[in-house]
Amino acid sequence: MYPSPIEGYVAPTTVDEAVTAFARWGEETHYIAGGQSLMQAIKSRMVRPRCLVDLQKIDVIKGIHQEPGAIRIGAMTRYCDIASSELLDGPYAALNDGAAHVGDRQVRHRGTIGGSLCWNYISACMPAVNLAIGSQLTLVSSTGQTRTVDIEDFLGAPLETSRQEGELLLSVELPQILGRAGSAYRKWSLMTDGLPVIGVSALLRLDETGSCASARISVTGLESGPIRVPTAERALIGVSHSNTGKIEEALNDSSTSLDTHSDEDADAEYRRVLFRHLGRDVVNRAFMRALGNRE
């Protein structure tokens, strides 16, 4: 289908210009990042924007930056740049995993982390990965006020977030994680570049003995959208990498608490099977990365 008529198009070069343009055009104005999700919705007329504010020319919200105590990822940073970044080794490597397997090559070279988080599609990879890592998001309003929100408070039900009308996502801040830590993400799809039927992400922090001191486990592909799995997180505390039986038990037991659903892609029980299988893999990979293996 062709989109409905769009009255205005603005391509600002600064954040101030972007939020000013949004405020000027008002109702039914949309920011557009990579456009990989929004343009599909516009063409199908699920979304009928009056004006598009294109963020492609705003360089200040692009790139991955090492800052004192944290790593900052600009909201307009593309998946391909995240997938290849060595700054994200170890504690943040799940971001490499997720970005490397988002969509196809075109999507990875055009789509952005900010666009994915703000769209919050039901089975998207980036929301689940950031939920496991515990990212914080910085947004600016049309009046120029900024605020920082935890990823858990930002993400809502599928296609919903706490972003307010006119707010622009500026960056994603990754928390400083002291000591040995590693993260990983893996998805299962019906096709190579398809959306995940189930995707699982894990962040583990180890104690001085090499056992799990804390864990964050998230899953995507559920009707509720991305969620953490606290039963698995609690069960993994005190478990070592070599204790494969305990890892398997933790994932098996926690799978029963998942509110899975059935559709044409998979039934509810098979989604639990996928969670157990993928969960064991990402936990083991997170352990290995925390122990210094970069694979």
CATH code where residue 18 lies: 3.30.43.10
Of the residues 174, 196, 214, the one at which a domain ends: 174
In a domain, 2, yes or no: no
The predicted structure's pLDDT at residue 295: 66
CA 208 to chain centre: 30
Please identify every stretch of the chain with a pLDDT value under 50, giving residue numbers as ranges. none
In a domain, 3, yes or no: no
Cα 275 to Cα 17, 78, 270, distances in angstroms: 44, 28, 9
In a domain, 122, yes or no: yes
Tokens at 244, concatenated = 């494969």
Same domain for 46 and 129, yes or no, is no
In a domain, 1, yes or no: no
In a domain, 179, yes or no: no
In a domain, 295, yes or no: no
The predicted structure's pLDDT at residue 59: 96
Same domain for 13 and 65, yes or no, is no
Cα 162 to Cα 36, 150, 152, 222, distances in angstroms: 21, 10, 10, 20
pTM of the predicted protein model: 0.94
Same domain for 49 and 64, yes or no, is no
Same domain for 82 and 163, yes or no, is yes
The predicted structure's pLDDT at residue 146: 96
Same domain for 128 and 222, yes or no, is no
The CATH number of residue 228's host domain is: 3.30.390.50
The residues near 51 (Cβ < 8 Å, ≥ 6 apart) are 6, 7, 8, 9, 10, 21, 25, 28, 29, 30
Of the residues 150, 174, 198, the one at which a domain ends: 174
Cα 186 to Cα 37, 93, 149, 218, distances in angstroms: 21, 11, 26, 11
Phi, psi angles (nearest 5°) of residue 153: -85, -20
Same domain for 161 and 63, yes or no, is yes
The predicted structure's pLDDT at residue 1: 63
Same domain for 39 and 82, yes or no, is no
Residue 50's domain comprises 8-54
In a domain, 68, yes or no: yes
The predicted structure's pLDDT at residue 194: 81
Same domain for 199 and 104, yes or no, is no
Tokens at 126, concatenated = 């980036």
Same domain for 118 and 46, yes or no, is no
Same domain for 259 and 206, yes or no, is yes
The predicted structure's pLDDT at residue 40: 85
What does 172-213 look like in DSSP terms, one character per residue? Answer: EEEPP--SSEEEEEEEE-SSTTSPPSEEEEEEEEE-TTSBEE
Burial class (CB in 10 A: 0-12, 13-18, 19+), 144: exposed
Task: Report the C-alpha gap between 260 and 271 in whole angstroms.
Answer: 7
**CB-based contact 210:188 (threshold 8 Å):** no
Same domain for 281 and 202, yes or no, is yes
The CATH number of residue 167's host domain is: 3.30.465.10
- Total domains, the chain: 3
In a domain, 221, yes or no: yes
Same domain for 65 and 113, yes or no, is yes
